[in-house]
Amino acid sequence: MEQYIPEKVTSILEVFDVTTNERRTLKEFPYLIEAPDWTPDGDHLLYNSEGLIYKLSLKDIAANPVLIDTDFANKCNNDHLVSPDGKLLAVSHRSLPQGKPTIFILPATGGNPVQVTPSLPSYLHGWSPDGKRLTYCANRNGEMDVYTIAIDGSDEVRLTTSEGLNDGPEYSPDGKYIWFNSVRTGLMQIWRMKIDGSEQTQMTFDEDRNSWFPHLSPDGKSTVYITYKKGDLEPHEHLRYKYVDLRSIPVNGGESKALLNLFGGQGSFNVNSWSPDSKQFAFVSYRLED
């Protein structure tokens, strides 16, 4: 669903330190940015804005962001990830004639994108720890499910078959599981399965919120995700400009814990934004201007 985007919005790029529970603003932008993605070397954050991908130096936060050359892929959305070795960048963009997202891969420093997913729409969410496969949400014949595919575009595998939306898949750091969110029980909840799609297990059981986009810390100890209050939207929706919480649960399951509240939603926390040392993660909040 397309949303109306206000002309005047300030995007606030922030980090949350899980060791001190401190929230800190890195930089404000007088326009819409989305989905910070920490590079494996810890030196930069990538984000998208107006269909393009930018790189922001964390060593010189006052410096202007650098535009990454994505060639014809000039309609990228908030589904983008750097490969585990830092050499490649995967994006979802809408520049094909049908206008629906398809996944492409290009050098992380910029270059010519190569199409990966054979069908569309496909919404990128995770990269396997060995760098050989991607996992994503895709609509095939009217059903939204979780898939994986080799980065050369071969061997697309469907992992979920339950009715309703299955979205937000991400590999665990040990490569044994894929975490995702599913609406199959009514509200959107966090789930986990083995990488072959077996042992699909519900991990959150919230009765007053819809939970999206589980992101696992690199050390494999914690999962952080974004939640919408029940009634603020339909369970299958993840809209922008809503009050949302970021919460965490242990990777083996258990009681969830609220970390912080923010005005945001779509674009705030779409891709894994943990720092390589697992001490903090990045997100975007928004402020609507008069």
Residue 290 included in any domain: no
Beta-bridge partners for 47 = 54
Q: Would you state the pLDDT for residue 98?
A: 64
pLDDT tens-digit map of 138-180: 998 889 999 999 999 999 999 999 989 999 999 999 999 999 9
Q: Is the CA virtual torsion 19, 284, 258, 146 positive or negative?
A: negative
Residue 144 included in any domain: yes
Rounded distance between C-alpha atoms, residue 197 and residue 180, angstroms? 11
For residue 9, name the pLDDT band (cuts at 50, 70, 90). very high
| CATH number assigned to the domain comprising residue 79 | 2.120.10.30
Q: Is the pLDDT of residue 183 over 80?
A: yes
Q: How many structural domains are present in the chain?
A: 1
pLDDT tens-digit map of 84-117: 999 999 999 986 666 688 999 999 999 999 999 9
Residue 15 included in any domain: no
Residue 288 included in any domain: no
Q: Residue 162: which domain range?
A: 66-265
- The more confidently predicted of residues 240 and 140 is 240
Q: Is the CA virtual torsion 227, 285, 250, 38 positive or negative?
A: positive
pTM score above 0.85: yes
How much of the chain, in percent, has pLDDT values that exceed 70? Answer: 96
Residue 226 included in any domain: yes
Residue 166 included in any domain: yes
Letter for the amino acid at 29? Answer: F
Q: Is the pLDDT of residue 240 over 80?
A: yes
Residue 246 included in any domain: yes
pLDDT tens-digit map of 109-143: 999 999 999 888 999 999 999 999 999 999 988 89
Rounded distance between C-alpha atoms, residue 67 and residue 252, angstroms? 39
Q: Would you state the pLDDT for residue 12?
A: 98
Rounded distance between C-alpha atoms, residue 261 and residue 281, angstroms? 14
Rounded distance between C-alpha atoms, residue 198 and residue 157, angstroms? 13
- Tokens describing residue 89: 């960048």
CB atoms within 10 A of CB 234: 13
Q: What average pLDDT does this structure show over 64-78?
A: 96
Q: Would you state the pLDDT for residue 2?
A: 43
Residue 1 included in any domain: no
